[in-house]
Every structure is written in C-alpha cells, then in structure tokens.
Structure 1
Amino acid sequence: MMRKPSLFLYLRATLFYIVFYPVTLVFAAFCLLVGWALPFRPRFKLFTLMNYFTMLWLYLTCGVRYRVEGRENLPSGSEGAYVVVANHSSEWETFFLQTLIRPQSAVLKQELLKIPFFGWALGMLKPIALDRSKRRGALKQLLTQGKERLEEGINVVIFPQGTRVETGKLGKFNKGGAMLAASAQVPVVPLAHNAGLFWPGKSYIKYPGTITVRVGTPVPVADRSVDEIHADSIGWLEAQMRDLKVVDEESV
C-alpha cells in the first residue's frame, strides 16, 4: 500500500510527538521514583498506563484505531503463562501488546535499556534484554530467563523476526519462541497484525485507519518437537500476514 504523505499528515504526526515525548519523559521519571517500591504486577500496571495514553493520543491526533480478533484465544490467568510470537513491523505493537498481554516480559534488544528514563523504566519490567551480537549466549539467556518468567506466571512476548521488517517483506522467523515453549511446556499463542501499514517502521508519518490484530488458537507443545511447534505457529502467522496484506505474495 503506497500512500503519498500530505502536509496535513505531517502536522498531525507533529502534534502527536509534541505531546508524546514530554509526557513519556515525565511519566518515566515518575515511574523510576516510585516503581522500586512496588511488586512486579502493580508496577507493570502503573508503568503501562502510558501505553493506554499512547493508543488514545494516537487515535485523537492521527486517526489510528485498532480492532482485536480472537481475543478469546488468549489463555486466562488460571491456565498459566504462555509464549506469544508476533510479527514486527512498527513501533505500534511494542506499545499496544503491553495493554493486551498482561503481565508480560518482552524479549528485546539490550540497547533499548540505555535510553534515558524510558529505557531505565523499561528495565524495571523484567524484560529479557538480549545482546544480539552473541547469538549462542542470547539463545541461552532467552531459554533461562524466559523459563523463569513463565514459572512466575509472566507471559513472554517474542518477535521471532528479530527486528522490524519492512511492510511487504516476510523476513526470517527464528525458533526461539518454539524452543522456549517446548522447554517450559507452555503453549504458543501466535499473533498477527498489520500495524506497519498505518505506522510504518521508522516513519514519522502515521496514516489514519484501523489496525487489525488477530490472535490465533494456542499451539500445544506436549509430546511435540520444536520444529512441529514452530511450523504450526509460524505457518499460521504467515498465512494471516498474507491475508492482512502485510507481505507481498512474491516474498512468501
């Protein structure tokens, strides 16, 4: 989907950022002051209030809405924690998923925790921060810390493409999510979206419209190999990305 940015869209995005950045800075500083005194779950609820504000402000300034299909597929808290694997094309999903998957530990790149205030506050939410230059060590860290989070009842969110992938391209999906789920014996919940059509990666402009988020049926892991778990979860994800027009048919 190729759209020509207009002056009006630039102005709307500017209004979004004029408020978003100062509010993020002030709120992150507040979280740093009080977060240390809170147990993890109340801390997560407090810190992610900013995410709800971001979704609302994005709608008011840029006209970006969203709808969730298959929300009922998310296991309830009484069913235990789970691993979420999702496609990654935008900054939008990093904000939104913390409002949908609660509580959660996000698998992310280590560099994000170095961002003043925002990154420092993010570091208090038990992320699994990987050093991508050390692939073997990163996988061991994912499996060790991921299993610890799951045993604490904290869901783990993974973007198996490893980084943001430009809309229209598929990218390569690693097996870390399937390996973690198999090791911890928890289900994998695949999740697809088309946020990159409305908030393209590294784009200043946000395009008005409705982002679709689809939650798949949990993929069971009992008596199954990592390859089988990976094939089922990523197969569903790729099919939904094609249906949502996130990737070109030629790239699949």
Structure 2
Amino acid sequence: MTRKPTLFLYLRATLFYIGFYPVTLVFAAFCLLVGWMLPFGPRFKLFTLMNYFSMFWLRLCCGVKYRVEGRENLPQDSAYVVVANHSSEWETLFLQTLIRPQSAVLKQELLKIPFFGWALGMLKPIALDRSKRRGALKQLLTQGKARLEEGINVVIFPQGTRVETGKLGKFNKGGAMLAASGQVPVVPLAHDAGLFWPGKSYVKYPGTVTVRVGVAVAVADRSVDEIHTDSIGWLEAQMRDMRVVDE
C-alpha cells in the first residue's frame, strides 16, 4: 500500500492547503459571529457548508472523489449511532455532509484550536478527555443519550484514533453501549479514505473514495456484545474487502 509521492502531488496538495486553510479561518470566524443566534438545526447547516466546499476543493486540486454505497440504509424515522473506521482526516470532513444532523465524538483537544475548534464546539460535539477512560465512557453515554433524544445522530470512531491503513486496530464497545442505552439502531459505515488521504499525510492521491453504509443493526432485546459483534463484524469484513487492512 506504500506509494511514493511525486513533486506533482506535492504541488497539488499545496494548492489545496493554500485554499483550504484561509477559507476555513475566515468561515469559522463568520460562524462564531452569527452561530450563537441560530437554533442547532440551522446552525449545523450553516457551519457544514465548509465541509461541502472542502470536498469540492479536494476534488478540484487533488483529484480525490467519492462514491457512497448504501445511502438508503440510513434510518429516516429516528436518530441513530454511526460507527465508522478512522484512517484519515477525510472522513471527519465528509461525514458531516452525509450524517445530518450529527454530534461527533472527538478528542477534547480539538476544541482548543483557534476559530476552527471554537466553531466546532458550537455543534454539540461529545468532546472526551481520553486520559480519563471511565469518565470518558460515562460522558459518552450521558451526553450521547441526550443528543439522541434531541434527534441528533451520534458519530463514533470506535478505534479511538486514526489507524494506519493496513492495520485493523481495536474497536471499543462505546457505540454499541450508547445504542443499547438509547434504544436506537447502530449504522456501521466503512470507507477506504486512507488509501487516498493517508492519516497525517501532506500528499493526497487521486482516486475515488468508497463509502459503504451497512444495514442498521437493531438493538431491541439484544445485549451490548451482540450489537457490537454484528456492527463491527460487518465493518471489519468491509475493510478487508476494500483492502484497507492486511490479511
């Protein structure tokens, strides 16, 4: 899976960042000025216009496109929990255009980033302190259930952090526990974004990211272990099929 970046790819990535960072800064500042006046629904729609721009700009500058398979599997009649693999920065941008509205489970440090993090904090994220594992789980279940009751979907990366393409990582049970607690379905989602935008990589590789949305896993009268096994089992199988993990 290792590819050698070329000078042309470095130039394309540089063009992407020349547009991405200034636009993000200006737009985040604008959102901070007006976002507090808006209810959550309109605020989410406004703030995530930046995500649509990012996908467009990435395709234009770096040739990274995407396709979604199974979009029809996203529940329309209730909130739900999404569990997805995490290998890139791409999915953190894209998923806010697919799962709407949403509350993302993320690390607390992100909210300290000037302008971007401050604006992100206005989208009701569940910001966890990963150094406090017991407290983080309690926070996830408490705040996550509250978001679901508000009709806000919760997006979780159960690997806990970005995992290098080629590796599977360990999937925690937080998503299954939250779904069982809130009695909402779990939607597993797999992608191969790490092949095109590797984690912490400056260079992006042209191609089409595949996003697969699985059938929602029911939680009624089922244990956390059963929910976790069904959702993560599907996710791991798709990752192997997309060849984003080594056999």
Which SS does the other structure have where 2:172 is aligned?
coil
Alpha-carbon offset, residue 4 of structure 1: 1.0
**Separation in 1, partners of 2:210, 2:11:** 25
Alpha-carbon offset, residue 52 of structure 1: 0.1
Alpha-carbon offset, residue 2 of structure 1: 1.9
Name the residue aligned to 1:206: 204
**Separation in 2, partners of 1:183, 1:72:** 25
**Separation in 2, partners of 1:158, 1:122:** 16
**Separation in 2, partners of 1:22, 1:117:** 11
Which SS does the other structure have where 1:181 is aligned?
helix
Residues 194 and 200 of structure 1, relative CA distance in 2, 3 Å threshold: same
**Separation in 2, partners of 1:176, 1:59:** 33
Structure 1 residue runs of 4 or more that deviate by more than 3 Å after TM superposition: none
Which SS does the other structure have where 1:189 is aligned?
strand
Alpha-carbon offset, residue 175 of structure 1: 0.1
Question: What are the superposed Cα offsets for residues 70-111 of structure 1, whole Å, 9 maximum, x if unpaired?
Answer: 000001146xx0000000000000000000000000000000
Name the residue aligned to 1:30: 30
**Separation in 1, partners of 2:244, 2:71:** 20
Could you tell me which runs of 5 or more consecutive residues in structure 2 were left unpaired when the two chains were aligned. none
Which SS does the other structure have where 2:212 is aligned?
strand
Which SS does the other structure have where 1:77 is aligned?
coil
Question: What are the superposed Cα offsets for residues 131-157 of structure 1, whole Å, 9 maximum, x if unpaired?
Answer: 000000000000000000000000000
**Separation in 1, partners of 2:221, 2:117:** 39
Alpha-carbon offset, residue 198 of structure 1: 0.1
Identical pairs, percent: 90
Question: What are the superposed Cα offsets for residues 180-232 of structure 1, whole Å, 9 maximum, x if unpaired?
Answer: 00000000000000000000000000000000000000000000000000000
Alpha-carbon offset, residue 3 of structure 1: 1.3
Which SS does the other structure have where 1:51 is aligned?
helix
**Separation in 2, partners of 1:200, 1:30:** 30
Name the residue aligned to 2:49: 49
**Separation in 1, partners of 2:80, 2:18:** 37
**Separation in 1, partners of 2:175, 2:62:** 33
Name the residue aligned to 1:170: 168
Q: How many residues align?
A: 246
Question: What are the superposed Cα offsets for residues 147-184 of structure 1, whole Å, 9 maximum, x if unpaired?
Answer: 00000000000000000000000000000000000000
Using structure 2 for the length normalisation, give the TM-score: 0.99
Could you tell me which runs of 5 or more consecutive residues in structure 1 were left unpaired when the two chains were aligned. none
Name the residue aligned to 1:223: 221
Using structure 1 for the length normalisation, give the TM-score: 0.97
**Separation in 2, partners of 1:241, 1:165:** 12
**Separation in 2, partners of 1:221, 1:4:** 45
**Separation in 2, partners of 1:151, 1:111:** 26
**Separation in 2, partners of 1:96, 1:142:** 22
Superposition CA RMSD, Å: 0.5
Which SS does the other structure have where 1:132 is aligned?
coil
